[in-house]
Structure 1
Amino acid sequence: MTKKLMLIFVFTILLLVSCTNEKNIDVENYMDKEIEDNENIRFSIWTAYWDTDDLEHEIKDMGKVDNICYFAAYFNEDKILFVPKETKESLKRIESLGNRKYGSYLTIVNDLLLADNKSSLKDTDLLYTLFATEETMNNHIEDILNIVIKEGFDGIEIDYEAINKDINLWELFIEFIDKLYKSANGKDIPVRVVLEPNVPLDKITLPEGPEYIIMCYNLHGYGTEPGPKANKVFIEDMIKKSEGLKGDIGFALATGGYDFQSNGIVNALTEREAVELSKFYNKIPQRDESGALFFNYMDNEEVSHQVWYANKDTINYWIGIITEAGDYGISIWKIGGNINLLNEN
Structure 2
Amino acid sequence: MSAFISLIRYLNRDIKIKVPEKLYAAYLCVAGCLAMIVLLGVSIPIVMIFYTAAKSFLLDQPYDPFQTFELPHGRTLTLYAEYEWFYEPPGHLYFDVVEDGKVLVEARDFWGVGPERIPELEYKAVTSNDGNLVAILYQTNVVILHDFKTNRTWPGPEGKKWNETDFTWDDYVLLRELLDQFAAEGKTLYCSLLGENKFRIVCSSDYRYHIRREWEKREGVPGFQLRVRLFKEETELETLFETEYRPVKTKKKQSLQDRFDQSRHWGDWNSGWKAGWLDANTFAVWNQDQGARAWKTDAEGNCTELPAPLEDKMLTRIQRLPGSPWLYPAASELKQTSNTTE
TM range (shorter): under 0.3
TM-score (norm 2): 0.22
TM-score (norm 1): 0.22
Q: Return the structure number with greater helix share.
A: 1
Q: Return the structure number with greater strand share.
A: 2
Higher relative contact order (CA 8 A, sep 6+): 1
